[in-house]
């Protein structure tokens, strides 16, 4: 069993930055893909980025490529999402997830474990 806890959300002005963290307990991420998704009110949950833990390869949604960066800290068993040049349309609840998928982690169905989410609000 894996427990995921996100942190780092909050209120930021447009153009600002935030770094989200997702700490895992119960098992190491070494054999997993970890991903970040977000869900805005009235919208479906949207894939943002994924990282294959054992090799460090990454995959991004086109909508955030160049602004968001996913990274990891092996010692802390934590995955991060650095978000720069934030826009009001980035306002959403952000979720991390982990799964033993052989694909690129773009689909929600590839994940077995989810965090509780952290709110990000970008003001104009």
- pLDDT tens for residues 47-95? 999 999 889 999 999 999 999 999 999 899 999 999 999 999 999 999 9
Q: What is the pLDDT of residue 29?
A: 80
Distance CA 22, CA 24 (A): 7
Four-residue CA torsion sign, 117, 66, 71, 108: positive
C-alpha gyration radius of the chain = 13
Residue 103: is its pLDDT beyond 90? no
pLDDT above 90 (res 2): no
């Amino acid at each position: 069993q894996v427990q995921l806890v996100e942190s780092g959300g909050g209120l930021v002005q447009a153009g600002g930055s935030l770094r989200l963290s997702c700490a895992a307990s119960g098992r190491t991420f070494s054999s997993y893909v970890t991903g970040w998704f977000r869900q805005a009110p009235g919208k479906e949950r949207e894939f943002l980025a994924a990282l294959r833990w054992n090799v460090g390869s990454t995959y991004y949604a086109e909508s955030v490529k160049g602004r968001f960066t996913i990274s990891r800290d092996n010692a802390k068993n934590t995955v991060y999402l650095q978000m720069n040049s934030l826009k009001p349309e980035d306002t959403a609840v952000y979720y991390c997830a982990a799964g033993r998928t052989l694909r690129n982690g773009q689909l929600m169905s590839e994940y077995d474990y989810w965090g509780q989410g952290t709110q990000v609000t970008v003001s104009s």
